[in-house]
């Protein structure tokens, strides 16, 4: 499926104990780069406490913009960072819905 509408992604990250500060700093740098990428509408890290997963959230103009970002060295670095500093990950990509109608925007 090829999406021409805005799409969003969310990655749930469970940091390894004792790795929170280093992981947060590394992801913050990657988020800054994503925000400068063509087609990025929003990117943020929501770091939570008490064992709650962190959320890496982004919104992109369309699928092409997201795929172009996925091909960058920065995103490949994210994979390496997560392998070293996380105990589990989960996530997904969805088309953006119009909040008023509940339909794909």
**Which domain CATH number covers 42?**
3.30.70.100
- Alpha-carbon distance of 11 to 54, in angstroms, equals 8
In a domain, 31, yes or no: yes
* Residues 54 and 45: beta-carbon distance below 8 Å: yes
In a domain, 90, yes or no: yes
The pLDDT > 90 percentage for the chain reads: 30
Residue 99 DSSP one-character state? T
In a domain, 103, yes or no: no
In a domain, 21, yes or no: yes
- The separation between the first and the last C-alpha atoms of the chain, rounded to the nearest angstrom, is 16
pLDDT band at 59 (very low <50, low <70, confident <90, very high): very high
pLDDT band at 94 (very low <50, low <70, confident <90, very high): low
Q: Where are the beta strands (DSSP E) in 16-85?
A: 40-46, 54-60
φ and ψ of 79, to 5 deg: -60, -45
Q: What is the pLDDT of residue 5?
A: 82
In a domain, 56, yes or no: yes
Domain that holds residue 84: 7-95
In a domain, 1, yes or no: no
């Amino acid at each position: 499926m090829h999406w021409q509408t805005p799409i969003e992604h969310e990655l749930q990250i469970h940091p390894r104990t004792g790795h929170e500060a280093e992981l947060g700093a590394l992801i913050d740098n990657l988020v800054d780069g994503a925000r400068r990428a063509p087609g990025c509408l929003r990117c943020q890290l929501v770091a939570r406490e008490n064992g709650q997963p962190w959320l890496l959230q982004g919104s992109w103009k369309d699928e092409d913009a997201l795929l172009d970002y996925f091909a960058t060295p920065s995103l490949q670095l994210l994979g390496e960072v997560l392998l070293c500093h996380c105990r589990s990950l989960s996530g997904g990509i969805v088309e953006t819905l119009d909040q008023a109608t509940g339909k794909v925007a």
